[in-house]
Structure 1
Amino acid sequence: MRYGSTDVLTGVSFTARRGEVLVLLGPNGAGKTTTIEILEGFRMRSAGRVEVLGVDPARGDERWRARLGVVLQSWRDHSRWRVRELLTHLGSFYAPYSADQIRRPWDVEELIEVVGLTEHVDKRVGQLSGGQRRRVDVAIGIVGRPEVLFLDEPTAGFDPAARREFHDLVHRLTDIDDTTILLTTHDLDEAEKLADRILILAGGRIIASGSADELSRRISVDAEVRWSRGGARFVHSTSDATAFVRELLAQHGEEIADLEVRRASLEDTYMALVHEYESGRAGSAARAFEEVAG
């Protein structure tokens, strides 16, 4: 993707498998939303090849769109509609294509229960709280029971309980309906809980790809070992936690209490990989400047 002479996305290449939760991470401006919009068919790419459900999104028709679900970052303006009426109305648009789809659209009453809006079905959307309106957005995105679901910062505004319920919904969609989900988020804890695979974008490129565990093995971040002995607390960083703990227990045995090993989290991994990329880019820019200046 190019805007004028600026490349926003360069050589971004990946495949999402059926039933997979693929999470896109990256700093602001990395190209996450642009990537999603190209896949949705909302934005035309400048070059390259894209297929979603075997169709080029730039040429997708209504039957193709009926197989997709989209939850954008911002709320949609449905403030005058009552929740049940809105979802019933939007669900009716999928009826002409239901015979072509792998699965039938959601029953509205079941959908309302699944997204946690049972107590608010007769309220106007404009009367709902921010988190409740976000649930309506999610319900709109999945009302057609999509085969591919795009989620752009879906839990923004959710409280912890609502976020956990949403995570349960994602697992239900993938485990039961075999839905493929592409999700962008700034919540690294959420990404670690949900992702089968993570793509990290920076500078319009994919700089890393893999599960949270696979990514953590790419960087050398020491594990942190914590323990207490004789009423005193100790902390030690080590690149080989297993060997250190084995030696610690051999020396002090039952005197060791409250033993805890903290390995690199996804946040540690993400920050290290982005910093590594940005440092390398800054180094390349500095070398290029030195060559020109020289």
Structure 2
Amino acid sequence: MPMIEADGLARTFQAAHATVDAVRGLSFQVATGEIVGFLGPNGAGKTTTLRMLTTLLRPTSGRAVVAGHDLVRGAAQVRRNTGYVAQSGGTDGTSLVLEELVLQARLYRFSRAEATRRAGLLVRQLDLTGLERRQIRTLSGGQRRRLDLALGLVHEPRLLFLDEPTVGLDPQSRANLWDHVRRLRDDLATTVFLTTHYLDEADALCDRLLVIDDGRIVADGSPEELKRRVGGDVVTVSVDGDAERAAKLLAAEPGIGDLTVTGRTLRLALDTAGEQALLPLLRVLDAAGIAALSVQISRPTLDDVFLGLTGRSLREPTPDAPR
């Protein structure tokens, strides 16, 4: 059974004089043990969807099964089997690190002994050793996010929701948190469903991406699959010789899309991976006595995916709908 199975999930809100369709019939699955990124421009419906899947907001229509339980009828069991780490966290800055972890475990009805054991385990797993007696407000940004992650895991959830998990962190802290999230999947088979505005994070961390725009899923696939939909690689070649002649020779080769010439530089859009096409293209130039001075291969990025799917960048808001 999938860890998340949504079927026609929708949510509308009543605005001043209109009905706003924030989420428009989402249907998707998340397999056990996947790290899935939920991406879309601001206002696309990500937050509303996350609030529904975590039982914080009741769907207007549709249904979902989360961690084996119906989202509406089994809301209490959904909460018991899932963890949620909000973007802003939810800790008391004056509390001590270990106190906060034990309290969170006690709220899930663990005994004090078991709560203390769980807290100690998470302190070790998430590199919080030595910080147990520190007030939370004295922690660095990376330390605090690792504590937030520990709080979301203290009840051993099968599914973890992360809302913008690394926002505001420095590159080293972000990379450190990525490693911890990967270990959740690899060592504990925890399923992770996260939102992020960092496309490099989505590319490096996620097994699969769901792209939402205007309340609808518009793409579903691995980062590489989505980038391949945009097109093949682009090869840029600078030549020592007649660039126009070189362009005519290369344009006749299979798998060549758009080809432009600027001075002595040729830019070729390919239908395939650049490494596969590069050697045959260089052989064509060599046979014609045209030397290649430099070669560069560039691949489509997730930025290209978003522009192609939505017509705007990830951070550009959806008109008229802060969702």
Bucket of the pairwise TM-score, normalised by the shorter protein? 0.7 to 0.9
User: Counterpart of 2:257?
Assistant: none
Partners of 2:184 and 2:166 lie apart in 1 by 16
User: Counterpart of 1:19?
Assistant: 33
Partners of 1:204 and 1:179 lie apart in 2 by 27
Report how far residue 14 of structure 1 moved.
0.5
1:116 equivalent in alignment to 2:115: no
Partners of 1:248 and 1:159 lie apart in 2 by 42
- In the alignment, residue 154 of structure 2 is paired with which amino acid? V
> How has the CA–CA distance of structure 1 residues 176 and 235 changed in structure 2, closer, same or farther, with 3 Å as cutoff?
farther
1:36 to 45, 50, 66: 50
Report how far residue 248 of structure 1 moved.
2.1
2:201 to 166, 170, 190: 190
Contact 2:227–2:300 (8 Å) recurs in 1: yes
Report how far residue 251 of structure 1 moved.
2.2
2:233 to 199, 214, 223: 223
CA-to-aligned-CA distance 1:185-238 (integer Å, 9 cap, x gap): 001111111211111101000011111122123224x633245667x9946231
Report how far residue 89 of structure 1 moved.
2.3
Normalised by the length of structure 2, the TM-score is 0.74
- In the alignment, residue 248 of structure 1 is paired with which amino acid? L
Identify the structure with the greater helix proportion. Answer: 1
- In the alignment, residue 63 of structure 2 is paired with which amino acid? R
User: Counterpart of 2:93?
Assistant: 79
2:143 to 111, 132, 141: 132
1:239 equivalent in alignment to 2:275: no
Q: How does 1:211-290 map to 2 (within 5 A)?
A: 211-220=222-231, 223-226=233-236, 234=265, 236-240=267-271, 241=274, 242-243=276-277, 245-252=279-286, 256=292, 259-275=295-311
SS of residue in 2 equivalent to 1:78: coil
Partners of 1:90 and 1:189 lie apart in 2 by 32
Larger radius of gyration: 2
The unaligned stretches of length 5 or more in structure 1 are 98-103, 278-294
Give the root-mean-square deviation of aligned CA atoms. Answer: 2.8
SS of residue in 2 equivalent to 1:15: strand
Partners of 1:233 and 1:124 lie apart in 2 by 62
Identify the structure with the greater strand proportion. Answer: 2
Normalised by the length of structure 1, the TM-score is 0.81
CA-to-aligned-CA distance 1:151-210 (integer Å, 9 cap, x gap): 110111221111112111111111121111111000111111121111110100001111
The unaligned stretches of length 5 or more in structure 2 are 1-10, 241-262, 314-323
Contact 1:148–1:180 (8 Å) recurs in 2: yes
